[in-house]
Chains A and B, each alone.
Chain A
Amino acid sequence: MDLPIIKYSKSEYIETDTGNKVSRKSVICGSQNIILGGKTILQTGSVIRGDLRRTGPGQAVVVSVGRYCFLSQGCVIRPPCKTYKGAFSYYPMKIGDHVTIGEGSIVQAASIGSFVSIGKNCVIGKFAIIKECSRIEDNTVIPANAVVPSFTIYSGSPGRLVDELPESIQEIFEARTKDRYAKFVPSTDV
């Protein structure tokens, strides 16, 4: 379970005061509406749509991402949309701490709890709710409005429950995301 050291070129990534590492090759629309909790990594080609904000005044946060999250290459985070009482709007999305999102996954969930691991090439439908401490396997399609309970593993298209996770999974995910952040280092030969 030892993670490899990932080296990145220092010129490609921007490091913020709170330790977020954001690739210059990622696409961030409406950055004033996005919150990154700190020590979160955004890799090359990932897209966050902060411009699709809720209509009307007030609360402007569109996407909030917690600490120690890892958004891999080419993943798309976009808020979900629906019509409610005759008005069409996009709604804010919340992602907890220690969340890993795999390469090429497309997330349109309403909320993702802490300690969640999403595999490669997954599709998380609109307004899906993913509870804490769960795992979504590679290539899974979670349909719109679905709820993934805590301590479960979902897989397939449409995603179905395939297994359960032990209660210790919180510590395992936490250790792994911290380890990954520590091993995401700039390459020395510039």
Chain B
Amino acid sequence: MMTRPRLTISNKALVCQDNDLRGNITVGARTVLHPQCKVWATGGSIIFGSGNIVEENAVIINRGPDALIIGDNNVFEVGSVMEGAKIGNRNTLEVRSHVKSGTWLGDDCVIGAVCSTNEGEVLEDRTVIYGTNNERRTYAGNRASNITIHTRHLEYLMQTLPKFNHARSSS
């Protein structure tokens, strides 16, 4: 029998219905959870910071006893799986990427499409994982433009999604 999730949702956040939320979840301001995403706090709770985007079919699981704290302005794209222990700010998990259990993500990391991390790995800030063999390099560019795109994306979603989807509120 599934128990009802305990949700604490900021009134500036947008959490769509028809998604699968389990356990103790806190959602910060300006965070958007698309329909059909899965957030399972089966162990400790999951705490979202502000400005995160979780797209459809993305899975965030916290099996460990400790709380999983997700920083600010992260993007979990379609079909990505996050099982890691810690995630900083401004990370992008691209389409169907996999952050395995115990991984620590710093800030400004990009896990490319279909790439995965190793178990228990610590990724330094600005690491980019790409290609078939999960090659790594350090991002040398300027993230400032990406941040403006991200804030515009959030504004768009906040404006458009409520027109077509029902939003959830705290329980």
- List the interface of chain A (C-beta within 8 A of B): 27, 29-30, 47, 49-53, 55, 74, 76, 78, 81, 83, 87-90, 104, 106, 108, 121, 123, 125, 139, 141, 143, 156-158
Binary A-proximity of B66-86 (CB < 8 A = 1, otherwise 0): 000000000000110000000
Summarize A's interface: helix, strand, loop or mixed.
Answer: loop
**CB contact list, B128-171 vs A, under 8 A:** 131-132, 149, 152-153, 155-156, 159-161, 163-165
Flag if A81 contacts B153 (CB, 8 Å): yes
Contacts A51-B161, A106-B96 given: A76-B113 contact, CB under 8 Å?
no
Binary A-proximity of B4-37 (CB < 8 A = 1, otherwise 0): 0000000000000010000000000000000110
Flag if B56 contacts A49 (CB, 8 Å): yes
* Chain B interface residue count, Cβ-Cβ cutoff 8 angstroms: 25
Provide the residues of chain A in CB contact with B165, threshold 8 Å: 29, 51
Provide the residues of chain B in CB contact with A141, threshold 8 Å: 113-114
Summarize B's interface: helix, strand, loop or mixed.
Answer: loop
* Supplied contacts A81-B153, A83-B149, 15 more A-B pairs, CB within 8 Å: A27-B36, A47-B56, A47-B57, A50-B164, A51-B163, A51-B165, A52-B160, A76-B56, A78-B78, A81-B156, A87-B152, A106-B79, A121-B96, A157-B114, A157-B132
Provide the residues of chain A in CB contact with B131, threshold 8 Å: 157-158
Provide the residues of chain B in CB contact with A55, threshold 8 Å: 156, 159-160
Query: B95 interface residue, CB < 8 Å from A?
Result: yes
Flag if A51 contacts B160 (CB, 8 Å): yes
Contacts A88-B152, A106-B79 given: A27-B35 contact, CB under 8 Å?
yes
Bound-state Cα–Cα, A55 to B152, Å: 12
5 contacts between A and B (CB under 8 A): A76-B56, A76-B79, A123-B96, A123-B113, A143-B113
Flag if A88 contacts B156 (CB, 8 Å): yes
CB distance from B16 to the nearest CB of A (A): 9
CB distance from B148 to the nearest CB of A (A): 8
Task: Please name the 4 residue pairs, one residue from A and one from B, whose CB atoms are nearest each other, closest first.
Answer: A51-B164, A88-B152, A30-B164, A157-B132
